[in-house]
Amino acid sequence: MSKKSVAVLAATGMVGQRYVSMLSDHPLFEVTTVTGHESAGKKYREALKSRGDLRISEEVGNLVVKATKPEAIDAELVFSPLPTEAASALEPRFAKRGLRVVTDASPHRMEEDVPLIIPEVNPEHLDLIEWQRRRRRWSGFLVATPNCTAAGLTLLLKPLADTLTLRRVIVSTMQAVSGAGYPGVPSLDIIDNVVPYIKDEEEKMEKEPAKMLGSVGKGGIRPSKIQISAMCHRVATTDGHLESAYIETEERVDLDEIRAALSGFRGLPQELRLPTAPSNPIIVMEQEDRPQVKLDRYAGDVQGMSVVAGRIRRGLDNRSFRLTFLSHNTIRGAAGSTILAAELMQSKGLLD
Ligand SMILES: NC(=O)c1ccc[n+]([C@@H]2O[C@H](COP(=O)([O-])OP(=O)(O)OC[C@H]3O[C@@H](n4cnc5c(N)ncnc54)[C@H](OP(=O)(O)O)[C@@H]3O)[C@@H](O)[C@H]2O)c1
């Protein structure tokens, strides 16, 4: 089977580089176009500002970075980690011109006919695509993946929501600097520091999981009734967002059942054996001081694609519990989830 041609927009950014690296030996997709803004016209390899640890193939390294315009794209699929403002204006233009766009950016995530996808959580929400194309008279389409902290949280909540009635989730995050892009947070603001504010992050964490955990019907998504309160912090780690959650349920909680539900969870990508699907979407660690960012962010058989959970313990009463979990922000929180979503779309014939 020949590979599908892929364009990576904003390919010189933190997420864009992660795409190029993850797609360097991908069995289904091949990067044929890279775009940027200030780096347009340069060779891709020469336009990169950071991150020597990523894999860039000879061919992609030699591509010339194009300006980010629909007419510059000759590809069957577009990955879009564009900055917010550019994504807001450009992504609908790309879809209108017939391009199939999967985006990591936030502006269109909560629109009622835009599927917001974590492949293991809500693959059936891809059914919205048909409605979206009809309503907007687009020959292409737009699919979104969630905010990087919402991605880890929602994947973790899915097997719990399947077996329990989740009432409230109170979650506090410790988020790596790569989440702010490049060059991101000035070094003098973050070294020896924790910043208890990330613009718009708490709002995204509080809204996006309810959409993804909701059910899809004729009039769009009916969101889950789950209530989430988020407190977000930027900390001086490079990659990997750590989150601590306090979860209240309607039913009495059995901690062993929680551990079993998390570690036994498998989704459609695992059933279909998609190339970027980890065998265990959620890994449960038993050691009392894990997960740790430095030790566990690449745990599992597809590096960076598993959420790693631990410290599962009782809350204030027998209808609550606490836990800590870790997910890699540019992989499970961005490029990795989006590539997995595209693999799922390919398996459903949505890229034919
Ligand atoms: N970082 C994360 O962990 C993460 C996780 C989930 C989602 N996201 C989302 O992904 C997107 C990208 O984040 P990032 O961290 O990769 O940012 P970044 O490192 O700051 O990269 C920005 C990229 O956007 C390009 N760019 C800047 N202005 C542009 C414009 N007007 N039109 C087209 N391209 C433009 C830049 O190209 P030049 O270098 O050529 O100027 C560069 O490639 C954002 O929407 C972010 O919210 C990020």
Q: Are 42 and 65 in contact (CB under 8 A)?
A: yes
CB of 15 closer than 6 A to ligand 1?
yes
Residue to substitute in 104, 232, 234, 242 for testing ligand 1 pocket (most ligand atoms within 8 angstroms of CB): 104
Protein residue with least CA distance to atom 9, ligand 1: 105
> One-letter amino acid identity for 185?
V
- Which of helix, strand or coil describes residue 313? strand
Mean pLDDT score across all residues of the chain = 97
Tell which atom from ligand 1 comes closest to the C-alpha of 182. Answer: 19
CA distances from 227 to 69, 171, 173, 244 (A): 39, 11, 17, 16
Alpha-carbon distances of 144 from 26, 92, 152, 249, 317, rounded to whole Å: 21, 12, 15, 29, 37
Pair type for strands 77-80 and 4-8: parallel
Residues 273-301 have a mean pLDDT of 98
pLDDT for residue 219: 80
Tell me, yes or no, if the pTM score tops 0.75: yes
Looking at the DSSP bridge assignments, the partners of residue 143 are 102
Is a pLDDT exceeding 90 seen at residue 54? no
When pLDDT is cut at 50, 70 and 90, the band that residue 36 belongs to is very high
Domains of the chain: 4-147+335-347 (3.40.50.720), 148-328 (3.30.360.10)
Q: Which of 8, 35, 3, 110 is nearest to 343 (CA)?
A: 3
Residues 6+ apart with CB under 8 A from 127: 115, 216
Distances (CA, A) of 71 to 74, 93, 96, 245, 246: 8, 10, 12, 45, 48
Q: Whose Cα sits closest to atom 2 in ligand 1?
A: 179
Q: Which two tokens stand for residue 304?
A: 């960076």
